Structure 1
Amino acid sequence: MYSKEQASQLRQAFWTAFGQYMSPILSAEGLRANWVNYKTGAKHIYFRMQADNKSASMSIDITHPDIELQELYYEQLESYKATLHGTLGEEWNWHLHDVDEYGKTVSRIFKELSPINIYQQENWPELISFFKPRIIALDEFWSDVKYAFEVY
């Protein structure tokens, strides 16, 4: 078991290492990207990478507080499902109106890896191998479809 501080330090060390590993890689548009804190540029649409002592996940989170608009964003992304899965090279899970860890309603498109433990450094290569191709593919996908979300 790790203390809260040790767990925080290990998480921070992983994300710092991942960010450094990804820093030479340019975005689909040829620009430098902050891969760890990827900005979609669309309000209420986030690309999230999460890992803990049981699993890791990569997701597109739609967090609009208006449930009807959240559903509209979700449906719009759903219209690009074949493109998304084609770019990713795999199918992801689609959940409309989940409740997140803070009790807020979100819609989520995600892929999960388990079992995996971010607190064990020997798992870091596998975590990097999970996150790297997916965040690059999401960036490529987003560079093609983001303009459809600018009107909201």
Structure 2
Amino acid sequence: MYTKEEKKELVKRFWIEFDEYCSQLPELAGAKKKWLLHRTKISHLAMKFEAGRKFADVILEINHKNEARRLEVYELVEKYKLLLEDGFPEGLIWDFAFVRDNGQDVCRIYTRKYDVDMHRQKQWNEIFAFFAKNMLQLQSNFVDIRDILKEEILTLNRLER
């Protein structure tokens, strides 16, 4: 077991080493901002990495606090399922009722790598490779639909006023 401080240091080292790993990838070398993450240009929609004791995830998350709005945005995104899943041979996991560890309800579209543990340094390169490959693909697919999705969400907002 780790103390709270040891775990904090391990997590910090994990993300620092992931950043170093990414800076060595030709498709990311020299990029000031490597990942969209919260800069998707659509409010309440973010891209995330998560690593834990049993798996690692690359995620597109809809985190609007209003459940009806969150589900409406999820349905809009779902219309582009084929485009979003391009390059993912097994597809993506679509979960409209995901509950985060903190109890917050969100919608998630993600891919998962099982049987990895971020606490095991020897598995870090495997996790990093999974993260980079899948986030590059998901981010690219998302950017292809972002403008039209953003316009549809704006239209939905105008109709509800």
Q: Paired residue for 1:104?
A: 104
Aligned ranges 1:1-150 → 2 under 5 Å: 1-23=1-23, 25-26=27-28, 32-35=32-35, 37=37, 39-150=39-150
Q: Identify unmatched segments of 5+ residues in structure 2.
A: 155-161
Compare CA radii of gyration and give the structure with the larger one: 2
**CA RMSD, 1 decimal:** 2.2
Tell me the distance in 2 between the aligned counterparts of 1:104 and 1:114: 23
Cα displacement (A) at 1:38: 5.3
Secondary structure at 1:131 match in 2: helix
Shift of 1:32: 3.6
What 5-or-longer segments of structure 1 have no aligned partner? none
Bigger drift between 98-107 and 71-80 goes to: 98-107
Q: TM-score, normalised by structure 1?
A: 0.87
Q: CA deviation at 1:55?
A: 1.7
**Distance in 1 of aligned mates of 2:139 and 2:108:** 17
Residues 18 and 36 in structure 1, CA contact (< 8 A), matched pair in contact too: no
Q: Residue type matched to 1:10 in 2? A: L
TM-score normalised by structure 2 residue count = 0.82
Q: Percent identity?
A: 27
Query: Number of residue pairs matched?
Result: 150
Instruction: Give the AA of the match of 2:6.
Output: Q
Structure 1 position 44, deviation (Å): 0.6
**Where does residue 157 of structure 2 map in the other structure?**
none
Query: Per-residue displacement from partner, 1:22-47 (whole Å, max 9, x unpaired)?
Result: 136349xx964233855212111111
CA distance in 2, matches of 1:87, 1:43: 26
Give the C-alpha shift of residue 59 in structure 1. Answer: 1.1
Paired with 1:123 and 1:26, the residues of 2 have a C-alpha distance of 22
